[in-house]
Amino acid sequence: MRVRLTPGAASDRIDGRARDDKGVLLKARVRAAPEDGKANAALIALIAKAFGVAKSKVSVTRGHTARLKTLEIEGASDAEVATFTAHQKET
């Protein structure tokens, strides 16, 4: 799952989906600052809650220090991730 993360927001939330030259991505905002992995941890908690899985099942596989991240959700199929993303409002 590809995610564009905005740290330092007013609240933790999924803002919808967007498209770029590589396809569809999820847009998310978290209150945590982008320091010492705090924003990544907040993103993992947000995605875990949205998917109804433990935080330990979600990991950042690419983009640890970048705004654009790739996440892996253990136990979630590509079809489940695609369906979840498709149900988000395109912005």
* Confidence label for 91 from pLDDT (cuts 50, 70 and 90): confident
- Given a cut of 90, whether residue 4 has pLDDT beyond it is yes
What's the CA gap between 35 and 53, in Å, rounded?
25
User: 72, 61 in Cβ contact below 8 A?
Assistant: yes
Q: For residue range 40-86, list pLDDT tens digits in order.
A: 999 999 999 999 999 999 999 999 999 999 999 999 988 999 899 98
Q: Are strands 23-29 and 2-6 parallel, antiparallel or unpaired?
A: parallel
Prediction pTM value: 0.93
Beta strands in the chain (DSSP E): 2-6, 13-20, 23-29, 58-62, 68-73
Across 36-40, average pLDDT: 96
What's the CA gap between 9 and 32, in Å, rounded?
8
Which residue type is seen at 39?
A
